[in-house]
Structure 1
Amino acid sequence: MSPPLLPLVDAHLDLAHNVITNGMDLTLRLEKLRRQRKGSDLPTVSLPALREAGTALAFATLFAEPYHPEHNPAGYRTPDEAHERAWNQLELYRRWQDEGLVRLVSDRAGLETHLNTWEEDGVPGLMVLMEGADPIRTPDELGFWADAGVRLVGPAWGGTRYAGGSWGNTGGLTKLGRELMAALQNEPRVSLDASHLSERSFWDAVELYDGPLLASHSNSRRFVNSERHLTDEMIRAIGERGGVIGTVLYNAFLVEGWQRGDPRPGLEVVTSNMEHVAGLIGWQSVGIGSDFDGGFGARETPEPIDKPADLRLLEQLLPAGTFPGVLGGNWINWLRSWLP
């Protein structure tokens, strides 16, 4: 009898967005899904693939993409539209739970029950993360989303009504954003996700909010100099809060200047990023936030990773004793430290 798999935790997957917006059927096996998606980014994730990989938990996003006249003319234009789209995604996760495909996790007792049950049945757990806070129509609506099961909120993607983001508006928190920090400060069920915050908004948020903090899917700016990534000072600030940072498995976020069509780098670009973060704040603060399905595919990930199970190959390159934590244990410990 083979030993049980160590739990894999992926802190960032855009599952519902890819079903509702991009038309993917994530209930299919990955091979069949890929045959259906010829000519597009080669899919890396499906629910069966997560189960086969031993995924104990994923942070599953509510991601409403904003309007852009060229890149996304169908995006939301108003807070009401953003709210509706996020709610539709949440309802999809609930349907999957009703069908026995996933289990939604929203508190510490539920996490422990899920982990024990997962060891027996392998059903992946989902914790809901809102990426870009525009679906929260006003800051006093945070409690509504917390009641609905949202446990992690990232105020930005690009710039939002709340904060400067990775591109476009890279300014600081807006007046609404400062009000959202106050709401988060008083809502113990929800943690702040720093990923996608502009550097100015990050420091504004750290000044105003002293609750649990993570970066679900962010890499070090040492390797790719972009507002999308974290400076050493930002990394240290997250570590000082006891937070965890999830490494993104996108080549352009790991190798400066990498473009689609370039040769795929090897796994060492992933572990180099992890080692840099660990050197600043310790291995207990390093995790995975693959963003596998976030606008890129298997041809844009480091060789030979092209599906969730391949994340276990990182064990070959990580320092002895660090792999169980990086694979999932660090995220689990972090959740245990603050979930009500």
Structure 2
Amino acid sequence: MDKPFIVDAHLDLSMNALEWNRDLRWPIDEINSSEVLMTDKPDRGYATTCFPELRKGNIGLVVATQIARVTRANNNRPGAGWHSAEQAWAQTQGQLAWYKAMEAAGEMVMIKDKIGLENHLSLWQDTSSINDKPIGYILSLEGADSIVDIGHVEIAHNYGLRAIGPAHYGPGRYANGTDATGRLNHKGIELLREMDRLGMILDATHLCDDAFWDAMDLYQGNIWASHNNCRKFVNHNRQYSDDMIRTLIDRQAVIGIALDAWMMVPNWERGVSTPKGMNCNLEIVANNIDHICQLAGNTDHVGIGSDLDGAFGTEQCPYDITTIADLQKIPTILKTRGYTDMDVEKIANGNWLRFMRSAL
């Protein structure tokens, strides 16, 4: 099996384009060299992801995000979020406009239904001209703060939004997320009901424990966890406990393993720790994959949701990743651990594709 097709279930492409001002059509070296003297973001000059590297890595289908948090005006964290839902909505609409511009340029194609999915997969099965193929994307909203009111869910669904993660970091307008506590509020319950009505995918990533269990009880539709690792290895609320993983397995979910170093190795200090200093490599990704497979008793519920360039780059990801094309190293590692070609194919793309065929 040479260079399997890979599905990456979480990439913040529009955020990188608009907030980091990265033209993802450029080669990765050009993106990084353009940022050498910049210090406004901690990952300047350390980007991993662009369209040429996605194609190089045979990563032809991704879940791509819109993202815009809302925080209170008295929050003293610079850049933590917008001060109103209307501002956040406008930001997501700018991100949507960028995706549409990339579609017009032939770089991307939105996948909204099963027919579109199958057509895109057929295109990528021909590997003779991989360098000019569009990257397929399913549109997801990371954190629901930008949903001004419940009526905006259907507006978003109509333009192609297919998945929503109700929470991100801290307290949210609909649900509390990482480093927060508390059950779903009445707006969060209403959000899940509307998503159910529209047949959308619930992304359980970032939900705090209280909200996670509420969502598992309330949501009737399809659930995935686009980018979430195992609490067994990093004991933090951002990761899933074994009980949470088992519940997701029971719900026929797929969990994408993320490559943010602080989620991979304990005691990571942002801006201080280094990947080599903490021995953070892709073997740890394989450990997380294997743990989920052991809990499931099969290889049907795990994939990749790298989150590469999700406000971090090579300064805070496995040291054996130079660009996103290096995701191809994961299948090789799994095979050395005794995973069969069929198992590796499931983890690289098959589990996500099975889920998408059912949910779209």
1:278 matches 2:305: no
Question: What code does the residue aligned with 2:308 have?
Answer: F
RMSD: 1.6
Q: Which moved more, 1:158-167 or 1:320-329?
A: 320-329
Q: Residue 299 of structure 1: CA displacement? A: 2.5
Please name the residue that 1:252 is paired with. Answer: 262
User: Per-residue CA shift, 1:75-132, capped at 9, x if unaligned?
Assistant: 3111111111111101110110011011111100000001111234532101101000
Please name the residue that 2:17 is paired with. Answer: 19
Distance 1:86 1:207 in 2: 29
User: Per-residue CA shift, 1:45-65, capped at 9, x if unaligned?
Assistant: 011111221112111000113
Partner SS state of residue 317, structure 1:
helix
Q: How does 1:58-207 map to 2 (within 5 A)?
A: 58-67=62-71, 69-73=75-79, 75-120=81-126, 121=130, 122-158=133-169, 159-167=171-179, 169-188=180-199, 190-207=200-217
Partner SS state of residue 164, structure 2:
strand
Work out the number of aligned pairs and report it.
Answer: 335
Partner SS state of residue 284, structure 1:
coil
List alignment gaps of at least 5 residues for structure 1. Answer: none
Q: Residue 177 of structure 1: CA displacement? A: 0.1
Distance 2:115 2:3 in 1: 22
Question: What code does the residue aligned with 2:256 have?
Answer: G
- Contact 1:66 1:72 (8 Å CA) reproduced: no
Please name the residue that 2:237 is paired with. Answer: 227
Please name the residue that 1:314 is paired with. Answer: 330
Q: Residue 24 of structure 1: CA displacement? A: 1.6
Q: Residue 325 of structure 1: CA displacement? A: 1.4
- Contact 2:28 2:53 (8 Å CA) reproduced: yes
- Contact 2:204 2:212 (8 Å CA) reproduced: yes
Distance 2:166 2:183 in 1: 11
Partner SS state of residue 220, structure 2:
coil
User: Per-residue CA shift, 1:201-222, capped at 9, x if unaligned?
Assistant: 0111111112100000000111
List alignment gaps of at least 5 residues for structure 2. Answer: none
Question: What code does the residue aligned with 2:357 have?
Answer: R
- Contact 1:14 1:62 (8 Å CA) reproduced: yes
Q: Residue 139 of structure 1: CA displacement? A: 2.0
Q: Residue 5 of structure 1: CA displacement? A: 4.4
Distance 1:37 1:48 in 2: 18
CA spacing shift, 1:313–1:79, aligned 2, 3 Å: same
Question: What code does the residue aligned with 1:54 have?
Answer: N
Please name the residue that 1:32 is paired with. Answer: 30
1:329 matches 2:340: no
Partner SS state of residue 63, structure 2:
strand
Distance 1:273 1:25 in 2: 32
Partner SS state of residue 143, structure 1:
helix
Q: Which moved more, 1:298-307 or 1:43-52?
A: 298-307
Distance 2:79 2:301 in 1: 38
- Contact 1:104 1:127 (8 Å CA) reproduced: yes
CA spacing shift, 1:125–1:85, aligned 2, 3 Å: same
CA spacing shift, 1:211–1:34, aligned 2, 3 Å: same
Q: Residue 151 of structure 1: CA displacement? A: 0.6
- Contact 1:164 1:201 (8 Å CA) reproduced: yes
User: Per-residue CA shift, 1:136-165, capped at 9, x if unaligned?
Assistant: 111232111110100110000022110010
Distance 1:185 1:25 in 2: 36
Q: Residue 187 of structure 1: CA displacement? A: 1.1
Distance 2:273 2:66 in 1: 30
Q: Residue 320 of structure 1: CA displacement? A: 2.3
What TM-score do the two structures reach when normalised by structure 2? 0.89
Distance 2:307 2:165 in 1: 14
Distance 1:324 1:307 in 2: 21
